[in-house]
A and B are shown apart, each in its own frame.
Chain A
Amino acid sequence: QSALTQPRSVSGSPGQSVTISCTGTSSDVGGYNYVSWYQQYSGIAPKLMISDVSQRPSGVPDRFSGSKSGNTASLTISGLQAEDEADYYCCSYAGSYTWVFGGGTKLTVL
């Protein structure tokens, strides 16, 4: 149950696009199409942004998109806005009814 690997931080200017990667193994990210992404503002409960690799829940802006290739999943945020500045976590189903999160990525909007 090792944590998925995410970059500690990413940054971008308003209007630009940024991509956050999430690398696991064939036992988690690579083995299932069950990667989800969460946005967390400091001290606030996380919010689901992407489920099942690329599905956007109702109410999530279409600026947020997800994808996966092999053992690496990605979250792309296009048309960056100041309100997107937050921590982002990936999570993958890891089999046998266990889940694993990534270490989190701090997004800074310059």
Chain B
Amino acid sequence: EVQLVESGGGLVQPGGSLRLSCAASGFTFSSYWMHWVRQAPGKGLVWVSHINSDGSSTHFADSVKGRFTISRDNAKNTLFLQMNSLRAEDTAVYYCARAGGYYSLDSWGQGTLVTVSS
């Protein structure tokens, strides 16, 4: 069974940093592209970032470009999202998701809440 478990969320002050992790199991992690998607409280889903299977190619939404970094450790089956210069508008539940068939997101974690507030 595919499992994705996010961790690392919490309360952080504006301008601060946070590193999210997503532990994967039940599939060959190193073979799949991965994504981060976020959802602000009461709002819709927003795509944040993508990484290819070996970590050599990364892409970001304009709203986080230059502030967020995505990476992965295929030996430890773990996906990361390093978030710097956090803003109030980054407050959201952050989901990691597996890319199935490359262009859809076929498995999702339960999400981890990031709150940016002073």
Contact = CB atoms under 8 A, between A and B. Distances in A.
Interface string A75-103: 00000000000000101010011111111
B61 A98 contact: yes
Contact of B47 (A47, A57, A98): A98
B26 to A, nearest CB: 15
- Interface residues of A toward B: which range? 20 to 34
A51 B101 CA distance: 8
Contacts of A46: 45, 95, 105, 108
Given A101-B44, A102-B44, A103-B44, A1 B108 contact: no
A40 to B, nearest CB: 8
B108 A45 contact: yes
Interface of B: 35, 37, 44-47, 50, 52, 57, 59, 61-63, 95, 100-101, 103-111
Interface of A: 1, 3, 32, 34, 36, 38, 40, 45-48, 51-52, 55, 57, 89, 91, 93, 96-104
5 contacts: A1-B61, A36-B104, A46-B95, A89-B44, A91-B47
